Amino acid sequence: EAGVTQFPSHSVIEKGQTVTLRCDPISGHDNLYWYRRVMGKEIKFLLHFVKESKQDESGMPNNRFLAERTGGTYSTLKVQPAELEDSGVYFCASSQPSGRGDSTDTQYFGPGTRLTVL
């Protein structure tokens, strides 16, 4: 079974440009999450989709960030316009909750997209 995949693996853009990150969750997983790690800091939650709906977007830093999950499959995270402080590694994760709190609730992470804003 394929894991969570993210594209691109690296992106280098200039301040003011737009970048779109993509995440493909594990097939059949309804829950999809975005996290970010800015250099030297903790990994921080950005938002959580359940299917195509935003369940929790409390971690989105500002309105320059737009996340979508059309059709409840893959998700995109767009940063427009990018700023220097947006540099970091963006992780996506997916899970399929069973309601039993067992291993099927595990959030499986992708390899991340390293974003560098110059």
Partner 1 sequence: AQSVTQLGSHVSVSEGALVLLRCNYSSSVPPYLFWYVQYPNQGLQLLLKYTSAATLVKGINGFEAEFKKSETSFHLTKPSAHMSDAAEYFCAVSMYSSASKIIFGSGTRLSIRP
Q: How is 2-44 classified by DSSP, letter by letter?
A: ---EEE-SEEEE-TT--EEEEEEPPTT--EEEEEEE-TTS-EE
Give phi and psi for 71, each to the nearest 5: 75, 0
Q: Tokens at residue 66, please? A: 């737009």
When the beta carbons of 81 and 97 are compared against partner 1, the nearer one is 97
Q: CA-CA distance, 111 to 59, in Å (whole number)?
A: 20
Is residue 109 part of the contact set for partner 1 (CB under 8 A)? yes
Choose which of 18, 27, 53, 106 interacts with partner 1 (CB under 8 A): 106
Shortest approach of partner 1 to residue 11 CB, angstroms? 16
Closer CB to partner 1, 65 or 91, in the complex = 91
Q: Does 4 bind partner 1 (CB under 8 A)?
A: yes
Residue 95 and residue 82 in contact, taking contact as beta carbons nearer than 8 Å: no
Contact status: 91 vs partner 1 (CB under 8 A): yes
110 lies in the binding site for partner 1 (CB under 8 A): yes
Is residue 42 part of the contact set for partner 1 (CB under 8 A)?
yes
> Residue 44 interacts with partner 1 (CB under 8 A)?
yes
